[in-house]
Amino acid sequence: MLSFSDDSKIYLKTGPTDMRKSINTLVPIVQQEMNLNPLKSGYFVFCNKSRHLLKILYWDKTGFALWHKRLEENKFPWPDNAGDVKELNAEQIGWLLSGIDFLKAHSSLNYSVSY
C-alpha cells in the first residue's frame, strides 16, 4: 500500500473517470481538467463510475507511477460533482482507501463564551 506523509499533496478528481485510461491519458487530465502540474510532488486520485476502481497517479522523481486498487464487494465513497478538484490530507486518503466516508467527517467547531 502507498504511504502518505502529513505534508503530502493529494488531489481527488471528483466525478467518474474512465479507468481504461493509463498514465499517458491521465497526465493531460491533471493538466487540463484539474489545472495542476503533474510533475510537482503530489498524488492525483481518480475513480470509475461504479466506484469500485481507483487509480492514483504520481511523479516519483524518475517517472510517473500509477497505483491501482479494485474492490471486490464494496464501493469507494466518492463525490459526484464532476469537474471539481478536492484536496485531501494523509488522514483522509487513508480513510478513503479503508472505505470510510471522508466526505462526512465531523467538522471543527469554534465556540466562544460571552459574559
Each residue's pLDDT tens digit, 56-78: 999 988 999 999 999 998 888 88
Q: Identify whether 99 is part of a domain.
A: yes
* Domain encompassing residue 62: 10-104
Please, what is the average pLDDT of the chain? Answer: 88
Q: Identify whether 2 is part of a domain.
A: no
Ordered alpha helix ranges (H), the chain: 23-28, 90-98
Which residue did the predictor score with more confidence, 58 or 8?
58
For the chain, how many structural domains are there in total?
1
Q: Identify whether 54 is part of a domain.
A: yes
The full DSSP string for 42-70 is -EEEEE-TTS-EEEEEEE-SSSEEEEEEE
Q: Identify whether 109 is part of a domain.
A: no
Q: Identify whether 18 is part of a domain.
A: yes
Task: Determine which of 25-29, 62-66, 73-77, 110-114 has the lowest per-residue pLDDT on average.
Answer: 110-114
C-alpha cell at 34: 484539474
pLDDT of residue 38: 93
Q: Identify whether 44 is part of a domain.
A: yes
Give just the sign of the alpha carbon dihedral 6, 7, 8, 9: positive
Question: What global pTM score does this model have?
Answer: 0.84
